[in-house]
Amino acid sequence: MIGSRGTKQYGNVLDKPLGKGKTEVSLNAFSFLFSELVQYNQTRVDNIAELERRLEEAGYGVGLRMLELLCYREKGNKRETRLLGILSFVHSTVWKSLFGKVADSLEKGTEHEDEYMISEKELLVNRYISVPKDMGAFNCSAYVAGIVQGVLDGAGFPARVTAHYVPVEGQARPRTTILIKFLEEVLQREARLG
């Protein structure tokens, strides 16, 4: 029975406050599940671009749901309507609830006005993954890129989001950059809003 264990009784399920949710899951369990997800998709594709696309698709649905859930939980049912607002929402709120920390950095692209980058020294999904040399620049963070795209699309900021490895000087491991390229309409609207 709903609400029977709590101190307060709720007649309607919609009146019941949404639980904070369990904030942590086992990293091992997640890693095995994610590994299976990649392997499953790998058997169903012909090339690496296709695999990347399928991982992005898998993340997209997660992103849409995360947006809805987090807007309700953290933002009092309001969503961000400005470009910088939604970017910092992804960088801090979404990241915190997914990975337990805010992203290492959020930067604006130097060459293009419509590009933003979220960088991570070591993304959680990549913790145990070594990409073989013959797969070139493939990055399993395509899944995370999909999540980001889902969040942005759902909030009305359509963008093309991709994941890349970026080598860092003096470090054996490259860092991962999530590149966000907004569609023109978004920037035009942003300019109108001033």
Closest CA to 63 of 133, 138, 150, 127: 150
Q: How far is CA 51 from the centre of its chain?
A: 18
Give the burial class of 49: count Cβ atoms within 10 A of its Cβ; 0-12 exposed, 13-18 middle, 19 or more buried: exposed
167 lies in the site for another protein, by CB under 8 A: no
92 lies in the site for another protein, by CB under 8 A: no
DSSP 3-state of 134? helix
Token code pair at residue 37: 């997800």
Least Å from the CB of residue 129 to another protein: 6
Q: Which of 102, 131, 183, 186 binds another protein (CB under 8 A)?
A: 131
Token code pair at residue 11: 């007649």
45 lies in the site for another protein, by CB under 8 A: no
Task: Give the DSSP per-residue string, 14-63.
Answer: GGSPPP-------HHHHHHHHHHHHHHHHTT-SSHHHHHHHHHHHHHHHH
- Is the CB of residue 145 less than 8 Å from the CB of residue 163? yes
Q: Which of 47, 110, 130, 171 binds another protein (CB under 8 A)?
A: 130
Total residues contacting another protein (rule CB under 8 A)?
A: 19
Binding mask 2-41 for another protein (x = CB under 8 A): --------------------------x--xx-xxxxxx--
56 vs 80 by CB, closer to another protein: 56
75 vs 127 by CB, closer to another protein: 127
48 lies in the site for another protein, by CB under 8 A: no
168 lies in the site for another protein, by CB under 8 A: no
Part of the chain binding another protein (CB under 8 A), chosen from 61-69, 101-109, 131-139, 156-164: 131-139
The greatest distance separating any two alpha carbons of the chain, rounded to the nearest whole angstrom, comes to 61
10 vs 128 by CB, closer to another protein: 128
Contact residues for another protein, defined by CB under 8 A = 28, 31-32, 34-39, 42, 128-132, 135, 140, 172-173
